[in-house]
Structure 1
Amino acid sequence: MPARRSPMPQVYLLDAPHATQRRRIPLPGANPSPPEVNADRPTEWLLLACVMLLSLMALTFWGKNQAARAEIETWQNQSREMAALAEQWTVEARDQQREQATQNALIVNLSQRLRQTGQMNNALAASLENWIAGHENLRAQSQESLREWSVHSAELTESLRVTETLRDTERRDHEAQVQAVSTTLESTQQQLFEATDVVRRQESILSSARSDLSAAESRIHCLESELSSARSALSSAECENSRLRAEISCLQSRISSLESETHSRH
């Protein structure tokens, strides 16, 4: 048996949409049917399609809203973590600045100590030059006195040889003179020995001053090495501080960009 064809849907036009009495006009090619049976079918289908479309749009908007909220919460959590990390780096940068200030104070203290040591070294060098000049003067005076006493001793010896040929009375007088000269010579030799002791003492003082000068120079070298190490530590701390500042500025720019994106999405 041939299959039965389903009847075509009944479609009508409203001749006056705003009229008080509306009548339906069937389209050409449509099967006429009683108006009371298919009058509200297109309106119901249209309403159902609108409801389904609105439901689909509402579900789509709700899903997009949930995804956007989840993404915004994720960005907010990331921004909080970035802010905490930036705060931690700021605290580390402050600690680095405090350490840098401490190292600067240490460098200033070492510089002051180096200046004081230099002043002490200059004073010690001046005193050493004074000691050397005094020692040279005393040595020159001692040598001059030795020459004078040698000449005087030679003269006295020559006079003693001459007086031996004189008379006995003159010899006695000369013997007395020789005794006096001998006494003077002994006193002169005693003075010469004392001057020699003074020269030796001055030489010992000069050697001790030279040892003190060498110790001061070694101390200056130690202070200079400490100053160079402190300067190297200061330069490394400044490099680390600049690196931290660059990272903090990068993080702040990224946080501001994330906040601007969050505000634009809101």
Structure 2
Amino acid sequence: MATTLLAPHTEAPADHAVRLDHVSKSFGRGGGRQLVLDDISLDVANGEFVCLLGASGCGKSTLLNLVAGLDRPTSGEIGVPHGRPALMFQEHALFPWLTAGRNIELALRMRGVPKADRRPEAERLLELVRLKGAYGKRVHELSGGMRQRVALARALAQDSNLLLMDEPFAALDAITRDVLHEELTRIWTETNLSVLFVTHNVREAVRLAQRVVLLSSRPGRIAREWQVDIPQPRRIEDAGVARLSVEITEQLRGEIRRHGQH
């Protein structure tokens, strides 16, 4: 199949936030060419929360970069019918010389929001992530969890219906991470965002997602999917979350063992 990155408003269905059709990705040239992702087909519906789960190095972040348009697939097609996705990384990547509000305003400026409207919108987004009154605070004045909230507000400022998140809470302590899980679930519910969330933490995936997609070790292939029917709001220590996490963990371990035998 020819290498194609579908532009907005293509054949990807309008009721989907993203569609991946037989996507593969290789790096390198000639005999040193390495297949990282192999024949990935995946749909994320509008308003759906999907977690990509897998061992370190399985290609999760590579897949997210392809969906974000930061790289192109070697083969296959990626359809994003509603415009460029918003992307949030593990590191907050805030500009330290700007205040929290000005960091968000920068994203609004790049989106073309008029100058007079930027501060009110930045303050609204800060309130959405429960940081009302933090507009004038510098990055060094914010805790790790607060910085990630500002980064989330900046991502939301891009006004995309698809939010791509690459292990955004991995560097946080357990309590802060749990609080941000609650906040992300609330924001997702209130805004009807579609979310594609990368993690290697099984319980985090079950805590957050409607659907968990497990990638095998390199090359990354879809090994299995689970629908998570546990009602929200969920807690990471809930019995249902624990039971499904055990099942997924066993499958993940099997994939790691299988990879080690080749």
TM-score, normalising length from structure 2? 0.18
Q: Quick one: higher RCO (CA 8 Å, sep 6+), 1 or 2?
A: 1
Higher strand share: 2
Larger radius of gyration: 1
Taking structure 1 as the reference length, what is the TM-score of the superposition? 0.17
